[in-house]
Structure 1
Amino acid sequence: MAETTTLSATLPHMLPACPHARIALFAVRRMGAHGLADARAAHTLLTVFGQDFRRPLLLLRTLMADLAAHASGQIAIAPCCCARMTAAEAALLTILAQIETAPDKVRYLMSDLLGVRRVDGVLASAAAVSAAFADEGRPISC
């Protein structure tokens, strides 16, 4: 029973139903664990976006670098094969999905995620990622 409680506390969220959010999550997990130049993340985006993969890839790398540079602490990410999400991953996907429709909500989520008040630069990176996915016909939704 203790293992179940620990698992649900560490990974409280189910994976998103949106396939585009799952792609973004996979790339975030790969880059978070293996660096911004991770070949599997790049290959996944190449496979999904085809010849137009560079913009989403570059913007995801930029977002990851901004998150790392501005976070006051560590941001928990799960391994790529994990069928559940951390609270931080769920917050990030919610930010990507709702940045255009609920800007006040995502500002609070990003502030909580990073542990800082000034999040405008990181929000701009997140908005660019969200737009890149949407512009290629793969909007992130949660």
Structure 2
Amino acid sequence: MTEATATVATVLPHALPGCPNARIALFAMRRMGAHGLADARAAHTLFTAFGQGFRRPLVLTRTLMADLAGSATGQIAIAPCCCARMTPAESALLTVLARVEVEPEKAHYLMSDLLGIRRVDAVLASAAAVAAAFADDGRPIVM
């Protein structure tokens, strides 16, 4: 194994999710994280996926990203949009979105670890709203 392979395996240990809805959420979060909350490609992706009802998931994803940025005590690592692997933070965030309704304690612990704080209820509420927006349109996030 070369040094480059070891580095990629260390930094991006998780494969992309098999769920197409999770991939849409991941792409939008990566774009907003790297290019700002008003990123046009993120908005276009959600418009393409949700059609006329794109505003709710778009606004809620923007809110979640702003809450994450404002609450985190450290950096949350995100990979480039074209990357075929995920960082541990991205995997944890998608797991939170998938589990926030069915396993709230697990989602709480993951979010707490991700942000480095104990009181994550406000950010968790934003994550639950994003998950509900996807699920209400028939696009539940599954991990």
TM-score, normalised with respect to structure 1: 0.99
Equivalent residue for 1:110? 111
Unaligned regions of 5+ residues in structure 1, if any? none
- List per-residue Cα deviations over 1:82-108 (Å, max 9, x = no partner): 000000000000000011111111100
- List per-residue Cα deviations over 1:103-138 (Å, max 9, x = no partner): 111100000000000100000000000000000000
Instruction: Kindly indicate whether residue 61 of structure 2 is the aligned counterpart of residue 60 of structure 1.
Output: yes
Cα deviation for residue 61 of structure 1 reads 0.1
Equivalent residue for 2:34? 33
* Aligned equivalents of 1:22, 1:111: Cα separation in 2: 23
Equivalent residue for 2:121? 120
Query: Hey, which bits of structure 1, 4+ residues long, moved more than 3 A?
Result: none
Q: Helix, strand or coil for the counterpart of 1:55?
A: helix
* Aligned equivalents of 1:135, 1:101: Cα separation in 2: 15
Equivalent residue for 1:18? 19
* Aligned equivalents of 2:26, 2:3: Cα separation in 1: 28
Q: CA RMSD in A?
A: 0.4
Equivalent residue for 2:95? 94
Matched length:
142
- List per-residue Cα deviations over 1:6-33 (Å, max 9, x = no partner): 1000000000000000000000000000
Unaligned regions of 5+ residues in structure 2, if any? none
